[in-house]
Amino acid sequence: MLPLAVEPIGTVRRRADGSSVLEVREEFQEGLLGIAPGDRIQVLYWMHKLNPQARRRLQVHPRGDTSRPLAGVFSVRSPMRPNPIGVSSVQVQAVEGNRIVVAGLDALDGSPVLDIKGLPDR
Amino acid sequence: MLPLAVEPIGTVRRRADGSSVLEVREEFQEGLLGIAPGDRIQVLYWMHKLNPQARRRLQVHPRGDTSRPLAGVFSVRSPMRPNPIGVSSVQVQAVEGNRIVVAGLDALDGSPVLDIKGLPDR
């Protein structure tokens, strides 16, 4: 199967207080219309620090704990997987132009953002 | 920013009864170890029928209802978005070799599957 191309729409910036900023590229900023503090969003990001060799591993010890039996990468949420796309649900703290401040995003600083999707209220 | 390449790990097959089969490519089958009926999984798929022009739209009328005000594509779950990756949480009905039968997946027949991630029990 042919590879498909995804284009980053922005970048994750980690802040010292543990929150993160989704810095959206200006050409995509109008896509943020309607996102407001308190909203829950789903963030898709590229796990860019993953060693490319890790993309070939299909079984892992969950949480790196070798006392646990091997599990298929598709049965867990390990970053090791053929397509290193992370999906995380977070709450919006602030929106400032092309920057969305969120709490609890586990993406590393510099991770390319691939998509943001609104989530229904709980 | 440079585009990133994703490689499909399988294909969605819709069945007449409304369920779907995730047909995983054989070279990725060992990544399914541990997935069992009753598990909840998150499926990432490529919305392959989307008109490429739709990837350039950054604001849409929610659910195509033109009486509703425009919303940014990142504030909703419209298929129109720069990177047409769908994320859906579904329950596993059966696992048969490289095929996972799931209920309630809204992906079209033939959609490339990009990733499968385990979800915690509710």
The confidence score (pLDDT) of residue B54 equals 82
The confidence score (pLDDT) of residue B81 equals 94
Closest partner residue to A71 (CB to CB) among B34, B71, B75 is B34
Instruction: State whether B114 and A32 contact (CB < 8 Å).
Output: no
How far, in Å, CA of B41 to CA of A53, rounded?
25
- Average pLDDT of chain B, as a whole number: 95
Interchain contact A88–B (C-beta under 8 A)? no
> What is the pairing mode between strands B20-24 and B10-14?
antiparallel
Interchain contact A117–B (C-beta under 8 A)? yes
Residues with Cβ within 8 Å of residue A85, at least 6 apart in sequence: A44, A45, A46, A47, A114, B6, B44, B85, B114, B115
B66 Cα to chain A: minimum distance (Å): 16
Most A CBs within 10 Å, among B4, B48, B57, B119, to test the A interface: B4
- Kindly identify which residue of chain B lies nearest to residue A69, measuring between CA atoms: B34
A14 Cα to chain B: minimum distance (Å): 19
pLDDT digits (tens, 9 = 90+) for B3-57: 899 999 999 999 999 999 999 999 999 999 999 999 999 999 999 998 888 889 9
Domains of chain A by residue range = 1-48+84-122, 53-83
Ordered per-residue pLDDT tens for chain A, 122 residues = 778 999 999 999 999 999 999 999 999 999 999 999 999 999 999 999 988 888 899 999 988 899 999 999 999 999 999 999 999 999 999 999 999 999 999 999 999 999 999 998 76
| The domain over range B1-48+84-122 is classified in CATH as 2.60.120.560 | no
Coil, strand, or helix at residue A31?
A: helix
Can you give the three-state secondary structure of A52-67, one letter per residue? HHHHHCCEECHHHCCC
pTM above 0.80, yes or no: yes
Residue B64 has pLDDT above 90, yes or no: no
Instruction: State whether B82 and A25 contact (CB < 8 Å).
Output: no
ipTM (interface pTM): 0.95
Most B CBs within 10 Å, among A74, A90, A117, to test the B interface: A74
Residue B122 has pLDDT above 70, yes or no: no
In A18-37, the residues whose Cβ lies within 8 Å of chain B are: 24-25, 28, 30-35
Token duo for residue A117: 């999707």
pLDDT digits (tens, 9 = 90+) for B80-116: 999 999 999 999 999 999 999 999 999 999 999 999 9
B105 touches B43 (CB < 8 A): yes
